[in-house]
Amino acid sequence: MKKKILTAVLMLGMIVSLAGCGKKFTCDLCGEEKTGKSHTQKILGEKVLICDDCYKELKELGSLFK
Ligand SMILES: [Zn+2]
């Protein structure tokens, strides 16, 4: 019984931390876990979530091909 309650509390804590203000996400480009600004980009028809660093790199790359 006690174990079940503990699991429930732990799960709740995880949900709260996920929904919390510290926006944690995994960058689809470099695969690193990042906090802070995220950018949604459409690359080759697919929606990807990328970090600020990769976004800047992409922007630089994009300017080369223009
Ligand atoms: Zn990245």
Q: How would residue 64 be classed by pLDDT, with cut points 50, 70 and 90? A: confident
Is residue 40 within a helix (H) or strand (E), and if so which, with residue range?
A: strand 38-43
Q: How would residue 63 be classed by pLDDT, with cut points 50, 70 and 90? A: confident
- Please give the pLDDT value at position 3: 83
Q: How far is the CA of 44 from the centre of ligand 1 (A)?
A: 17
Mean of pLDDT values over 7-30? 73
* Calpha distance 3→15 (Å, rounded): 18
Q: How far is the CA of 27 from the centre of ligand 1 (A)?
A: 5
Q: How far is the CA of 18 from the centre of ligand 1 (A)?
A: 19
Among 33, 55, 53, which Cα is nearest to 42's? 55
- Please give the pLDDT value at position 28: 92
Give the pLDDT confidence of 26-62 residue by residue, as tens digits: 999 999 999 988 999 887 898 999 999 999 998 898 8
Checking if the pLDDT of 11 tops 80, the result is no
* Calpha distance 43→31 (Å, rounded): 15
